[in-house]
Amino acid sequence: MIKYFQNKYAMSEKGAQDLLRSIIWTVVMDLSFMIPVVLGFKFLDEYMDLLLNPSNNPENSILYYVIMSAAFFLVMLVIAYFQYDSAYTKIYEESARRRISLAETLRKLPLAFFGKKDIADLSSTIMEDTTQIELLFSHSVPQIYASVLTLMIMGVMMFFYNWKLSLAVFWVVPVAVLVFYLSRKFQNSVHAKTYNMKRDISDNIQEELDSAYEIKSYNREEAFSDALNSKLDNYEKFLIKGELLIGAFLNLSHVILNLGLPSVILFGAYLLSTGSISIFTYLVFLVVTARIYNPIIDTLNNFAELIYLNVRIDRMKEMDEMPRQEGKTEFRPKNYDIEFNHVDFSYQEGVQTLKNVSFTAKQGDVTALVGPSGGGKSTVAKLSARFWDIDRGVITLGGEDISRVDPETLLNNFSIVFQDVTLFNSSVMENIRLGKKDASDEVVMKAAQLAQCDEFVKKLPLGYDTLIGENGERLSGGERQRISIARAILKDAPIILLDEATASLDAENETKIQSALSALIQNKTVLIIAHRMRTVSGADKIVVIKDGAIAEIGTPSELKEKPGIFSSMLKTQYQN
């Protein structure tokens, strides 16, 4: 049963155990609700007999029933406590584990996954989907299983008490369940399509917010708003249609169940008239029948919600089953040479990005990756840090295959500065300290000075304690780039990846940064990507990449003298 719950609901082993306990306690609580009814009927049976035969003495006194009622009340209170704890507190704890597990899964996924998924999509899965699952598991799932088990127990007891009247009570249940069961495929289809439409709208809204500047600059607000409104209208129409049709199936099941009470009234009256049952038995079944269908209706409604939950659970399973990047966490390479050996790579199946790439970036050397835009330079740099796993070949660091090293362990050896800088809505100090979380303020400021940040930071209202806004929106592109470089200087890792690191800087600041970087890269492995030829003129090796393949390899002076892509790029830039 534990394994079944784990597989069906994407739960941890502890969560599945807690769910089983919750079901058991909910069954016990449901059955405990019958205790006052049984006690009440026993009291009525005794004292109705006393009214008919005053000479008879009741089996138990009124005080007995008062004491028993108080005792049962205390028992029910204890049962309710354990049921609440198992159905709510434990479910919320499982929800916390699920969120943490999702976050841990995301940590281990290759960046290819994030390239395919929108931020709104991922945040919706972690927050909204988990919340929906939490809500239904605390309010519906244990109650479903408990209701089924309770009804089975009560049904068996009622059949033993009087099987004829029990048939009149329960004949409607299999018919109502059959109607509901036949609608399951339709409900699954509706919920899946609704879920995907909602995700598409969320992605669309996120995309428009991210592209607000571009949309406004090209006067496309109305067009984008109309497209979004159209999607919202279609979503609303489909939602209403789906709710109406699902509601029709549920209501039909409810109508069929409601036929049970007239059946008991009519058939019970017939049995009473023939003397087959007593008036007391007839009244007992009328009271039970009036109450027994509500739990069945609630169960069907909960089953409908469980179907609604399926698409979200499948989404959790999809993420949990994604291939993760794992490896050893102890890694001490003998040196920091990076070697690509016949590497093939593709972002998507059937579209090859890199073909048979082979070269070595030596420790202590600056290896520059140059070539036409879209040729694969940034891809090569990112693959060296295992941002993705390759299709064929081997990438080694210090002679060790990086595919066997945990990505987080591997990245301890890298300082990376990309053209697209990501900053956080925090202070300048904390944004730089991201490079080394335990660095003192003095060490952070020294790195900032080397990266030429000091000049603009002093002009900020609170200096290094100034909040810079979401993704550094209060800073210029060059200032943001310098903070990113300061991070790399602070980390002081043995491998440096620079992807257009000085692209947003003017000539004066670029010269200053280059001198700072010169001090940073001593005796380190440096991979640098740049389109400005002056940036790579001091490199020890040039690797020219075109259309995903190595076109030329050599020193700047060697390639400059040979007719080829590098010399052509030099001539073009110097002519301009």
The CATH number given to whatever domain includes residue 515 is 3.40.50.300
Do 310 and 351 lie in a common domain?
no
Model confidence at 281: pLDDT above 60: yes
Instruction: Based on DSSP, count helices (H) and strands (E) in the chain, helices before strands.
Output: 26, 10
Out of 255-264, 293-302, 346-355, 426-435, least confident range: 293-302
Average pLDDT over residues 273-295: 80
Out of 46-50, 193-197, 347-351, least confident range: 46-50
**72 CA to centre of own chain:** 44
Do 542 and 485 lie in a common domain?
yes
Model confidence at 473: pLDDT above 90: no
pLDDT of residue 79: 87
Model confidence at 501: pLDDT above 70: no
Model confidence at 189: pLDDT above 70: yes
- Does 219 reside within a domain? yes
* Tens of pLDDT, residues 365-406: 889 999 888 888 888 998 999 988 899 999 999 989 999 999
pLDDT of residue 48: 66
Do 282 and 348 lie in a common domain?
no
pLDDT of residue 352: 86
Model confidence at 504: pLDDT above 60: no
pLDDT of residue 519: 61
- Does 326 reside within a domain? no
pLDDT of residue 47: 67
> Per residue, what are the HEC states of 127-187?
HHHHHHHHHHHHHCHHHHHHHHHHHHHHHHHHHHHCHHHHHHHHCHHHHHHHHHHHCHHHH
Cα angle value 118/109/367 (rounded, 5°)? 95
pLDDT of residue 440: 92
Q: How far apart are alpha carbons 344 and 150 in whole angstroms?
A: 60
- Does 481 reside within a domain? yes
Do 90 and 142 lie in a common domain?
yes
Do 281 and 346 lie in a common domain?
no
- Does 328 reside within a domain? no
Q: Which are the contacts of 413, defined by CB distance < 8 A and separation ≥ 6? A: 331, 333, 336, 397, 493, 494, 495
Q: How far apart are alpha carbons 539 and 119 in whole angstroms?
A: 38
- Does 17 reside within a domain? yes
Query: Average model confidence (pLDDT) for the chain?
Result: 82
Edge-to-edge strand list for the sheet holding 525-529 = 414-417, 495-499, 525-529, 366-370, 541-546, 549-554
Percent of the chain at pLDDT exceeding 70: 90
Average pLDDT over residues 35-49: 70
Q: Do the Cβ atoms of 193 and 309 come closer than 8 Å?
A: no
The number of folded domains in the chain is 2
* Tens of pLDDT, residues 55-84: 666 677 778 778 888 888 888 888 888 888
- Domain containing 371 equals 338-575
- Does 325 reside within a domain? no
**Which position has the higher pLDDT, 515 or 129?**
129
Taking Cα atoms as reference points, which of 503, 499, 548, 538 lies closest to residue 518?
538
- Does 329 reside within a domain? no
State whether residue 344 is helix, strand or coil.
Answer: strand
Q: How far apart are alpha carbons 150 and 487 in whole angstroms?
A: 62
Percent of the chain at pLDDT exceeding 90: 12
Amino acid identity for residue 192 in this structure: A
Domain boundary among 266, 287, 320: 320
Do 313 and 348 lie in a common domain?
no
Q: Which residue is listed with tokens 């070949």?
A: 393
Query: Which pLDDT band holds residue 360 (cuts at 50, 70, 90)?
Result: very high
Out of 16-20, 220-224, 535-539, least confident range: 535-539
Q: Which are the contacts of 482, defined by CB distance < 8 A and separation ≥ 6? A: 451, 452, 453, 456, 505, 509, 513
State whether residue 543 is helix, strand or coil.
Answer: strand
Q: At how many degrees (to 10) do helices 279-320 and 141-161 cross?
A: 150
Do 68 and 179 lie in a common domain?
yes
Do 10 and 48 lie in a common domain?
yes
- Does 331 reside within a domain? no
Q: At how many degrees (to 10) do helices 163-170 and 260-273 cross?
A: 160
| Rg (alpha carbons) of the chain, rounded to whole number | 35
Domain boundary among 320, 348, 368: 320
pLDDT of residue 359: 94
